[in-house]
Amino acid sequence: MEKKYKKILEKALPLYKKGRVGDVEHIKWLSRIITKYIDKSEIDYDILIPVILLHDVGYSKISRKSNCFDLDIRRLHSEEGAKIAEKILKELNYSEDKINEIKKLILKHDNWAFGDNFANEPVLKIFTNFDFMWSASKKGFGIVRKFMKMDPEEFYEDIIKSQKENEKEGRKWFNKEIENFYKQLMRERKKEFSI
């Protein structure tokens, strides 16, 4: 990761440690994987990477006992995250334009839960592909499954159900390679848990 992005991560990590269980792993996985599949020439990394690194930082302001699947909590963590992002990026001398764009995207990042398909937001289109896919990754499967209190088979089926919902609401895969990666992760989980 480039130094300028590492500085953001350094400021965000202590907050993630106070925030939702598993989010340190979540953020690290996302930033590692997304940059493998999306090139700088396709999207502005100065927007995408800060969005990844800061999108769930708002959970640091929310009790660990609250349900992160509750729609009010989804809204609240996005609002708090946008405020924290502004503070961190100002400290790092990000331009006002970029800060405003990043804040806007963090505010909207979970709006898929309200039916948004991000058709006009390429950064969120990519971001959501991977934020969703975290549940199918080796670590993410275990972490999110515990939140949902489901057994592996139930959770595997739940991911398939959510992906059907994505299709129905028009949230598309950004490209074929990313879609294939999701399918590969699901095959791995199926094998891992003998489903």
Question: Interface with Fe ion by CB under 5 A: which residues?
Answer: 56, 110, 131
* DSSP per-residue string spanning 152-191: HHHHHHHHHHHHHHHHHTT---SSHHHHHHHHHHHHHHHH
CB of 93 to Fe ion, least distance (A): 26
Give CA–CA dist 123/125, Å, rounded: 5
117 or 195: whose CB is closer to Fe ion?
117
Q: Considering beta carbons, is residue 64 or 190 the nearer one to Fe ion?
A: 64
How near is the Cβ of 134 to Fe ion at its closest, in Å?
7
Q: Return d(Cα 66, Cα 76) in angstroms, integer.
A: 11
Shortest Cβ distance from residue 58 to Fe ion (Å)?
Answer: 8
Q: How far is the CB of 41 from Fe ion (least distance, A)?
A: 25
Torsion of CA 68, 15, 171, 161, to 10 degrees: -40
Report the distance separating Cα 41 and Cα 30, nearest Å: 19
Confirm if 58 and 76 have CB atoms less than 8 A apart. Answer: yes
Comparison of 62 and 195: residue with beta carbon closer to Fe ion:
62
By beta-carbon proximity to Fe ion, the closer residue of 32 and 190 is 32
